[in-house]
Structure formats: C-alpha cells, structure tokens
C-alpha cells in the first residue's frame, strides 16, 4: 500500500463528526498572508483579546521575529 493510500485509509477510519481539524495552508490558498495576523484581527473584532493581552502578544511576536524564542518576563 502506498503512503498516500495508507494515509487516506486512516483518515476514512477516523471517528465521524465535529471533533478536531488541523489545516496547513502552506501555499496561501485559505488565508492570504501571515495567518496569525488574521486570527488576531478576528479576536480583536470579537473582543476576545484585552489591550494588555494584545500588547503581550505583539511583544512575543516581535521577540520571535528577532530570533528570541522566549519572551522577556
């Protein structure tokens, strides 16, 4: 059995119904641009992100972008 056939077989055997979904959009067909920006924008629109959380998130993203894996305490 080829790896692709085996993978499809495993997917078909998985539980049915809404559980967990993981989508990897490597070529930008689902979300154009940096997906984190889209998710953050939606959280802000819904009010799910406080100003303090937004600032901390921006700080963490900047640190990551600069090559620092951990944000400062």
Q: What is the pLDDT of residues 5-33, one digit of tens each?
A: 888 898 888 888 877 777 777 777 777 77
d(CA 53, CA 70): 16
Q: Would residue 71 count as lying in a domain?
A: no
Q: Would residue 46 count as lying in a domain?
A: yes
Task: Report the run of H or E that residue 53 belongs to, with start and end.
Answer: helix 51-65
Cα angle at 52 between 51 and 57, to 5 degrees?
95
Domain count, the chain: 1
Q: Would residue 34 count as lying in a domain?
A: yes
Strand, coil or helix: 30: coil
Range of the domain at 34: 3-65
Q: Would residue 70 count as lying in a domain?
A: no
Count of H helices and E strands in the chain? 3, 0
Q: What is the arithmetic mean of pLDDT over 22-48?
A: 82
d(CA 55, CA 33): 21
Residue 69 — pLDDT band, cuts 50, 70, 90? low
């Amino acid at each position: 059995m080829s790896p692709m056939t085996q993978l499809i077989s495993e997917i078909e055997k998985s539980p049915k119904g809404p559980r967990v979904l993981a989508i990897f959009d490597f070529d930008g067909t689902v979300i154009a641009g940096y997906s984190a920006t889209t998710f953050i924008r939606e959280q802000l629109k819904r009010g799910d992100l406080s100003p303090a959380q937004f600032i901390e998130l921006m700080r963490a993203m900047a640190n990551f972008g600069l090559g620092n894996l951990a944000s400062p305490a």
